[in-house]
């Protein structure tokens, strides 16, 4: 569906603004001179990450949203939970999205809603076909993916115009998940479990550019997969992470059973902690599913988007940023 939507000078609401994608997005909005409000749970964290105090609205998706949505013409909904129990994931990724949709429908009918979803919401595929499937036909293997799919379904029934972006693995400045693999490959060897798989990835700066395009594109009611082509073989990906930092390029592949044992062990280790391990049984379900590849053709067609930062450039610049911050 096409829709003229000039919003260059309109007020934008950003949720998840202190997250890794959110920080990069807010920096781009500042540089472009575009007015926005950032819904944040911690003002001190937001200020420490460079967000301007004048843009901050304290709150979360479980509380009152009137101040956040008042006067906005678009929402960039980045807030989400990546790890946690099934109940926690659905509470944030489905219920939180529903509350925001309802608040926007009530106070800003006609405002555009852009949801940052995930390839995890669709299902694994080697040819990228699963990345284009509408949510009612998706079968994600993980609780995380199921909760993101549920958020997509909430938005699908919204009365406001909407777009859903489904990126592959996102990396870049402020990311802490791929950082774990960078650290692993600093000395190596990298460890993989099970048969070879391919993964689609995208640098956060390319993702931010797609989010900005989604604000202004004359298209709504679409699910748009996003990635840099080509997808990477898992072992090649690890070797590139090592090469980007003059580290190890050794990769050890173990039987899949070791992946299950590793995930189970991490869950036991974290059983009495408030945090959830980066690699847990939910992530093991995604790993076991096979390749996670994106078909980028639809984003090129309807959003005029094509990722510009190559994997090699992205990994090298990310290493430089990590080192500048003392993270590597």
pLDDT tens-digit map of 10-51: 899 999 999 999 999 999 999 999 999 999 999 999 999 999
| pLDDT above 50 (res 298) | yes
Residue 29: predicted pLDDT: 97
- Going by C-alpha positions, the residue among 180, 161, 173, 226 that lies closest to residue 26 is 173
Q: Which two tokens stand for residue 303?
A: 């959003």
- Tell me the pLDDT band of 272, cut-offs 50, 70 and 90: confident
Using an 8 Å Cβ cutoff, are 184 and 237 in contact?
no
- Going by C-alpha positions, the residue among 45, 42, 49, 54 that lies closest to residue 23 is 49
Query: Taking the mean position of all CA atoms in its chain, how far away is CA 12?
Result: 19
Cα Rg of the chain, angstroms: 19
CATH code, 12-174+201-228+293-309 = 3.40.50.720
Using an 8 Å Cβ cutoff, are 204 and 170 in contact?
yes
Length of the chain: 328
- Residue 38 has φ and ψ, to the nearest 5°, of -115, 115
Tokens 């678009």 locate to 74
Q: What pTM does this model have?
A: 0.95
Give pLDDT tens digits for 90-145.
999 999 999 999 999 999 999 999 999 999 999 999 999 999 999 999 999 999 99
Specify the DSSP class assigned to residue 44: H
Residue 8: predicted pLDDT: 53
Phi-psi category of residue 172: left, alpha or beta, with phi > 0 → left and psi -120 to 50 → alpha: left
Laid out side by side, the sheet with 169-171 consists of: 169-171, 198-203, 228-233
Residue 9: predicted pLDDT: 57
Tokens 């993964």 locate to 199
- Each domain of the chain, given as residue ranges in start order, spans 12-174+201-228+293-309
Give pLDDT tens digits for 202-223.
999 999 999 999 998 989 999 9
Using an 8 Å Cβ cutoff, are 174 and 318 in contact?
no
Neighbours of 94 (CB within 10 A): 19
Query: DSSP 3-state assignment of 75?
Result: strand
- Cis peptide bond prior to 96, omega within 30° of 0: no
| pLDDT above 50 (res 4) | no
- Going by C-alpha positions, the residue among 233, 200, 232, 182 that lies closest to residue 299 is 200
Q: What percent of the chain has pLDDT over 90?
A: 92
């Amino acid at each position: 569906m096409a829709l003229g939507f000039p919003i260059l000078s309109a007020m934008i609401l950003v949720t998840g603004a202190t997250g890794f994608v959110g920080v990069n997005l807010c920096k781009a909005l500042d540089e472009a001179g575009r007015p926005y409000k950032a819904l944040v749970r911690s003002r001190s964290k937001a200020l420490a990450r460079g967000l301007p105090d004048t843009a901050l609205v304290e709150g979360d998706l479980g509380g009152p949203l009137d101040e956040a949505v008042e006067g906005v013409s678009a929402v960039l909904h980045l807030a989400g939970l990546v790890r946690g129990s099934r109940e926690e994931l659905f509470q944030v990724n489905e219920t939180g999205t529903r509350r925001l949709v309802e608040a926007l429908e009530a106070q800003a009918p006609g405002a555009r809603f852009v949801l940052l979803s995930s390839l995890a919401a669709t299902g694994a595929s080697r040819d990228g076909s699963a990345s284009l499937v509408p949510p009612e036909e998706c079968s994600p293997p993980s609780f995380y993916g199921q909760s993101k799919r549920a958020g997509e379904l909430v938005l699908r029934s919204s009365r406001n115009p909407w777009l859903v972006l489904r990126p592959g693995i996102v990396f870049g400045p402020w990311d802490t998940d791929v950082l774990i693999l960078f650290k692993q490959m600093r000395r190596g060897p990298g460890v993989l479990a099970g048969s070879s798989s391919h993964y689609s990835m995208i640098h956060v700066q390319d993702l931010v550019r797609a989010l900005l395009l989604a604000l202004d594109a004359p298209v709504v009611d679409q699910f748009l997969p996003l990635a840099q082509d080509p997808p990477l073989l898992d072992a090649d990906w690890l070797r590139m992470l090592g090469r980007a930092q003059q580290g190890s390029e050794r990769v050890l592949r173990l039987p899949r059973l070791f992946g299950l044992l590793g995930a189970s062990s991490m869950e036991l280790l974290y059983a009495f902690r408030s945090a959830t391990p980066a690699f847990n049984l939910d992530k093991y379900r995604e790993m076991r599913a096979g390749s996670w590849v994106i078909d980028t053709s639809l984003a090129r067609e309807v959003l005029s988007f094509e990722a510009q930062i190559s994997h090699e450039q992205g990994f090298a610049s990310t290493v430089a940023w990590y080192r500048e911050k003392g993270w590597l």
